[in-house]
Every structure is written in C-alpha cells, then in structure tokens.
Amino acid sequence: MPAEPVWLTQVHGTNVVDLGVSGPGGPADAAFTRRRGRVCAILTADCLPVLLAADPGDLVAAAHAGWRGLAGGVIEATVKALRVAPEALMAWLGPAIGPRHFEVGAEVREALLAGDPGADAAFAANARGRYMADLSALARRRLEALGVGRIYGGGRCTYAEQERYFSHRRDGVTGRQATLIWLESTKR
C-alpha cells in the first residue's frame, strides 16, 4: 500500500527533488523516487502532468509542465536528475489545456521556441494575432529530443472536458487534478 502522496510547492519552475532522500522540500515542479510506496504527486488545472518510469521498474517521476516549465526546461531537468538512459524511460502525458483553447501571445511562443526552434508546428496563428499552442506536442518534442521514444497519453483537454477536468482558464477559481505515480510495495 502506498504512503500518502508527497505534495510539492509548485512554482512553474524547473527544480526537481528526490523523494527517496528527502521529504517535500522547497519549491519544486518535479519529483522522483526509487523508494517503494513513496508517491510522487503533481497538481494541475490546465498545465501538463508528465509521468516517467524506468524499464527496470525501480524508478518513477512526475513533472508539472505548464508553458513556463516547458520553456524553462522542467522536462530536461527531470530526465537529467533521473540519471538513467532516456531510452530506458517511458512517459505518459496527462490531461492539459488543448490546442483549440490555449491561446498565447508572441512572447510565450518565442519563449517556447527558444528551447526548441523546430517547435513551430505546435503553434497556429489565430485571427487576433495570437497563437494557439499545443502543450502535449511541445512536451512530446522535448522528450523525443532527449531520446525518450515511448510516449503515451496527451490529447485530453481540461478546458473542453468540463464534466471531467478542472480548468483555470475556463473557470478562473477552480480545483486541481492530482496526477500520482509510485512504485508498488513488494509486500502483499
């Protein structure tokens, strides 16, 4: 049976904490553990939760990847902190605001392109001179660039699926989805 989730103080940054050696630390937007029963938890309401697991089944991680985290390199920082070959990782992209509803200005687009100049296809110009951005496509590109080839999920829209998900952009004041990952305890 897993323990209580370890809740992070999420700040839209790139800090990664090892939950196997410490409890909840200062501000962080990603966590990982090799400790069985320790639960990595991410809260989102439009940002993208990214879960990672290593092939041997001895390591899991969770990252909070909104546009600021993606632009800052939270995915890259998380993969680096795991210290395993990216080919040995699989990723799952959770629900996030979708490309039909995530409107951003030129400054956000430029911040995201700075870390991945080829990511232009993840943006579509709209009639207001702004851009519709695809967080899942941006995260997928970054994972692939790191060498993570097995990427699942993505495509669920928190904004559009009102009956299923919280959305800050849709509702303003709202709840959060918890995305959890852990290594099962060996005791049964």
* Average pLDDT estimate for 142-153: 98
Residue 116: which pLDDT band, with cuts at 50, 70 and 90? confident
* Whole-prediction pTM: 0.94
Q: Domains for the chain: give ranges and CATH numbers.
A: 5-96+148-182 (3.60.140.10)
Q: What is the pLDDT of residues 22-56, one digit of tens each?
A: 666 669 999 999 999 999 999 999 999 999 999 98
Angle at 42 between CA 134 and CA 180, to 5 degrees: 110
Q: How many helices (H) and strands (E) does the chain have?
A: 5, 12
Tokens of 141: 């590109």
Which strand ranges, in their side-by-side order, compose the sheet holding 131-133? 103-104, 131-133, 123-125
